[in-house]
Structure 1
Amino acid sequence: MKAVNSLRRMAAVLASSLASTLAFTLAGAGAAQAAANIVIVNLNAPGVGFNDPTPAAPVGGNPGTTLGEQRLIAFQHAAAIWGATLDSSVTIRVGAGFVPLACNAGGAVLGSAGPTEAWTDFPNAPRPSTWYVGALAAKLAGEDLTAPTDPHIIARFNSRLGLFPDCLPGSPFYLGLDNNAAGQIDLVAVLLHEMAHGLGFLSLTDDETGALFLGLPSEWDYHLVDNRDNTPWVALTDAQRASSAVNWRGLSWNGPNVNAAVPTVLAPRSNLDIGGANAGSARGDYYVGDASFGPPLGTTPVSGQLMPVVDQANGAGLACTPLNAANALAVRNNVAVVDRGACDFTLKARNVQAAGAIAMVVVDNAPGDVIGLSGDDPTITIPAVRITLSDGVAIKAALQQRSRSKSGVVATLAIDPSQLAGTDTQRRILMYTPSIYSPGSSVSHYTTEAKPNQLMEPSINSDLEHVVTPPRDLSFPLLQDIGW
């Protein structure tokens, strides 16, 4: 039996960081009694984190009367959800605390979590010479393999979020338990996500170099498939693994539980078709990211002339203020093209909607792959999607020759019933493999193309529910695939 303490590697390999644009006193413990017993070990010193005495009014079913108490209750609530889902005779200990994490006025690290140990060749191990994270190894062995007071998972969350002017001001964690964050960052959703990483929803392999952890694969690696040739990660060389980790849409999860659940969870893929007399080389179909606000795309197409908003000196269109007369004329009864940046996606949508646009296409402002549009606004009644910067450049080139209200380039937005969002040609869910390697996020998350948004995408979306199972979510089926 072999174990390795992975705390030193947690920040680089085992922990997940969530970006928004957006230990050791046993000072208190909370337990969730269910199919698995999950105990929260309070790692905060007196007066901070879980012990912060700042008065707080009860919110969203959270009866706590101090900031620290509400944080702990939210944590216990998330633990109870996972505890009711998992099956283990061994108590799972989560060492947790709220501490200052990296942040600025425009974005913040929400939190991170990871297993403290990984084990091989323990009693009842399903595969020899294969890594299993500590909590899973204990479940499979039927006995605790760690010291009796040591946590199986270490988790930390941003204690300054939204509470200081230099840390995403105005966007604190929502501490309610009712899944009604209303534009705030839902702490319970963040906690469910991070606990999943600690339970084994992560790669132990060095995704940047492709090197196996201490020369051995983890159970995770047996279920990753390079879908270009359907080769499992365990059969690839280090260089091939590193290549697949930055191959957009090139890496899939292949496990019986996830594969069986995919058709019940994922919806048909959304599509942007560009046509019309002036489409030229931009003609064709494009992958898009869906908005969490406004009506979803359906089988009935939304189609119209594609017209750009131009309200910046450099030719960009941010649509962060009500459109002037020229831009309002351009987008009226047409599909508006706007650029990402400077304000919320919902504000852009409200402004083009007020000007009469029938839909909105947001062009990303940085290189990258397809991702959705976050936000929540029930007043938005037009569909909105997001495309990559490179696709936006190609489409905008076709819009150069246009009149004040017509471009001759027609955009059609609809779903493609023949394909499921976020899957490969065999309907296996894709993993997150952006072409620019993202430490802590690449490979260890589901694709951002999934629809509906999944808990285990690299960012927390506002439309998530406090659910980890089908028919809403694919988090638990993956954990089942690795042994839970």
Structure 2
Amino acid sequence: MKAIKSLRRMAAALAYSLSIACAGVGAAQAAATIVIVNQNAPGEGFNDPTPAAPVGGNPGTTLGEQRLIAFQRAANIWGATLDSTVTIRIGASFVPLSCTANSAVLGSAGAYEIWTDFENAPRANTWYPAALASKLAGEDLTAPEDPHIIARFNSRLGLFPDCLPGSPFYLGLDNNANGQIDLVTVLLHEMAHGLGFQTFTDDETGEQFFGIPSIWDYFLVNNRTNIPWVAMTDAQRRTSAVTWRGLSWNGPNVTAAVPQVLAPRSNLNISGSNAGAATGDYYVGDASFGPALGRTPVSGQLMPVVDQPNGTGLACTPLSLSNAVAVRNNVALVDRGTCDFVTKARNVQAAGAIAMVVVDNVPGDVIGLSGSDPSIRIPAVRITLSDGVAIKAALQQRSRTRSGVVATLGLDPTRLAGTDRYRRILMYTPSINAPGSSVSHYTTEAKPNQLMEPSINADLDHVVKPPRDLTYPLLKDIGW
């Protein structure tokens, strides 16, 4: 029986694992007991005495107390979902983490130990995270003073001018964050990582940890060849980790649940007399604001906004008369940059556009449009820079109100969002490796958004299982 205190893996897992436990807060009494071990010093983090008004069903009267109550809510949700006779301990603290005025590390967490060849292990010579290994062994494999999961969260978030000012964690329990970062949602995500929603194989090099595969690797599959990660060479794993839409989850519980959770894929179709080589279907990222694409498509002439000297269109201010004439009753094509997506949508909507397509301004893969504004009434999607270049080439010859290029935004009923041709959910494998995010998350193309995507979306519920979410089915696949 082997155990590794995997602090190295935790450091590599910034977006991975989080779970909580706090001495003196009380355990979650359910199918599994989760204890939050408070690792903060007096006056800091969970012990911060700063007065706080109760918010969103959180009755705490200090900042530290509200943090603990939010942690306990997330622990209760997972405790009611899991089945284990071994108490799960999560060592947690709020500490200053890296941040700037425009970006911040929310937190980092991971399995404190990983185990192989323990009693009752379903697979020999295979790494399991400590909480799962203990559940399968039927006894606590870790020392009583050690946690199964260790987690750190940003104590400065939104509270200081150099750390996303104005965007603190929302500590309410009602999932009504209103643009803030919902802490309970973040905790559910990170706890899932600590429970096993991650590989211990290096996604940058393809090397297995100490030459031993993770239980994760048996279910991760190259969807072009159907070869599982566990059977690949290091070089093959390294390549597959940066192949967009190249890796799928092949576990029976997730695959069975996919049809009841995921919706048809959103699609942009380009056609028309001037479309030329741009004719065809395009993957898109959905907006978190405005109406969702439905089975009745929205279709119109695609007209670019041009308000910059280099020929791009940012739509960050009310449109000029010429741009307003161009997009009125048409689909507006705008470029990413300078202002938020909601502002762009608001401006083209005010000019009379029936929909908006945003072209990314950096190379990369499909991702959605963030933001919230209930006044937005038009659908909006995002396409990659390379797709935008191809479509813009077809727009060179146009009149003031017509381009001869028709954009149709709708659904592809033959494909579920974020799945391969076998209806297996795709994993997150951006073409440029994202340490701590690549491989150990679901794709950003899933619809509705899933808890275990690499970023937290505003439309998530405090739910971890079908028919809303696919997190728990994956944990069942690996042994929970």
Does the residue aligned with 2:373 lie in a helix, a strand or coil?
coil
Does the residue aligned with 1:163 lie in a helix, a strand or coil?
coil
Structure-2 residue corresponding to 1:180: 176
Structure-2 residue corresponding to 1:3: 3
Structure-2 residue corresponding to 1:427: 423
> Which of 86, 94, 102 does residue 90 from structure 2 map onto?
94
Q: Which moved more, 1:294-303 or 1:469-478?
A: 294-303
1:277-426 equivalences under 5 Å are: 277-426=273-422
Does the residue aligned with 1:154 lie in a helix, a strand or coil?
strand
Structure-2 residue corresponding to 1:126: 122
The one-letter code of the counterpart of 1:36 is A
Structure-2 residue corresponding to 1:465: 461
> Which of 78, 82, 91 does residue 82 from structure 1 map onto?
78
Question: Structure 1: how far apart are the matches of 2:14 and 2:164?
Answer: 25
User: What is the percent sequence identity of the aligned residues?
Assistant: 82
Q: Is the 8 A contact 1:360 1:384 kept in 2?
A: yes
Structure-1 residue corresponding to 2:243: 247
Q: What TM-score results when the alignment is normalised by the length of structure 2?
A: 0.97
Q: Is the 8 A contact 2:110 2:193 kept in 1?
A: yes
Q: Which moved more, 1:316-325 or 1:236-245?
A: 316-325
Q: Which moved more, 1:158-167 or 1:412-421?
A: 158-167
Structure-2 residue corresponding to 1:195: 191
Shift of 1:26: 7.4
Q: What per-residue deviation string (whole Å, max 9, x for no partner) do you get for residues 353-387 of structure 1? A: 11111001111111111111112211111111111
Structure-2 residue corresponding to 1:43: 39
Does the residue aligned with 1:109 lie in a helix, a strand or coil?
coil
Q: Is the 8 A contact 1:173 1:187 kept in 2?
A: yes
Q: What per-residue deviation string (whole Å, max 9, x for no partner) do you get for residues 373-423 of structure 1? A: 112211111111111111111111111222222111110001011100000
The one-letter code of the counterpart of 2:106 is L
Q: Kindly indicate whether residue 222 of structure 2 is the aligned counterpart of residue 210 of structure 1.
A: no
Q: Which moved more, 1:306-315 or 1:212-221?
A: 306-315
Question: Structure 2: how far apart are the matches of 1:246 and 1:396?
Answer: 27
Question: Structure 2: how far apart are the matches of 1:17 and 1:435?
Answer: 23
Q: Kindly indicate whether residue 97 of structure 2 is the aligned counterpart of residue 69 of structure 1.
A: no
Q: Is the 8 A contact 1:14 1:204 kept in 2?
A: no
Structure 1 stretches lacking a partner, 5+ long: 19-24
Q: Is the 8 A contact 1:64 1:70 kept in 2?
A: yes
Q: Is the 8 A contact 1:298 1:414 kept in 2?
A: yes
Shift of 1:16: 2.8
Question: Structure 1: how far apart are the matches of 2:191 and 2:58?
Answer: 20
Q: Is the 8 A contact 1:292 1:372 kept in 2?
A: yes
Structure-2 residue corresponding to 1:168: 164
Q: Is the 8 A contact 1:17 1:440 kept in 2?
A: no
1:261-276 equivalences under 5 Å are: 261-276=257-272
Structure-2 residue corresponding to 1:450: 446
Structure-2 residue corresponding to 1:12: 12
Aligned residues between the structures = 478
Specify whether residues 14 and 322 from structure 1 end up closer, same or farther in structure 2 by C-alpha distance, changes over 3 A only. Answer: closer
Structure-1 residue corresponding to 2:227: 231
Does the residue aligned with 2:27 lie in a helix, a strand or coil?
strand
The one-letter code of the counterpart of 2:110 is G
Does the residue aligned with 1:97 lie in a helix, a strand or coil?
strand
Does the residue aligned with 1:31 lie in a helix, a strand or coil?
coil
Q: What per-residue deviation string (whole Å, max 9, x for no partner) do you get for residues 56-89 of structure 1? A: 1111001111111111110110010001000000
Shift of 1:312: 1.9
Q: Which runs of 4+ in 1 moved over 6 A?
A: none
Does the residue aligned with 1:72 lie in a helix, a strand or coil?
helix
The one-letter code of the counterpart of 1:334 is N
Q: Which moved more, 1:106-115 or 1:236-245?
A: 106-115
The one-letter code of the counterpart of 2:55 is V
Structure-1 residue corresponding to 2:479: 483
Question: Structure 1: how far apart are the matches of 2:241 and 2:435?
Answer: 11
Question: Structure 2: how far apart are the matches of 1:423 and 1:247?
Answer: 15
Shift of 1:313: 2.2
Structure-1 residue corresponding to 2:29: 33
Q: Is the 8 A contact 1:13 1:203 kept in 2?
A: no
Q: What per-residue deviation string (whole Å, max 9, x for no partner) do you get for residues 413-446 of structure 1? A: 0101110000000000000000011000000000
Q: What TM-score results when the alignment is normalised by the length of structure 1?
A: 0.97
CA RMSD of aligned residues (A): 1.4
Question: Structure 2: how far apart are the matches of 1:289 and 1:103?
Answer: 27
Q: What per-residue deviation string (whole Å, max 9, x for no partner) do you get for residues 160-194 of structure 1? A: 11111111111111111001111111111101000
> Which of 141, 147, 150 does residue 145 from structure 1 map onto?
141
Q: Which moved more, 1:232-241 or 1:4-13?
A: 4-13
Does the residue aligned with 1:380 lie in a helix, a strand or coil?
coil
Question: Structure 1: how far apart are the matches of 2:415 and 2:153?
Answer: 37
Shift of 1:319: 1.4
Shift of 1:29: 4.2
Q: Is the 8 A contact 1:114 1:197 kept in 2?
A: yes
Structure-2 residue corresponding to 1:21: none
Shift of 1:35: 0.7
The one-letter code of the counterpart of 1:467 is V
Structure 2 stretches lacking a partner, 5+ long: none
Does the residue aligned with 1:271 lie in a helix, a strand or coil?
strand
Shift of 1:117: 0.6
The one-letter code of the counterpart of 1:98 is F
Does the residue aligned with 2:92 lie in a helix, a strand or coil?
strand
Specify whether residues 320 and 28 from structure 1 end up closer, same or farther in structure 2 by C-alpha distance, changes over 3 A only. Answer: farther
Q: Is the 8 A contact 2:31 2:79 kept in 1?
A: yes
Shift of 1:28: 4.4
Q: Kindly indicate whether residue 433 of structure 2 is the aligned counterpart of residue 437 of structure 1.
A: yes
Q: Is the 8 A contact 2:340 2:371 kept in 1?
A: yes
Shift of 1:257: 0.4
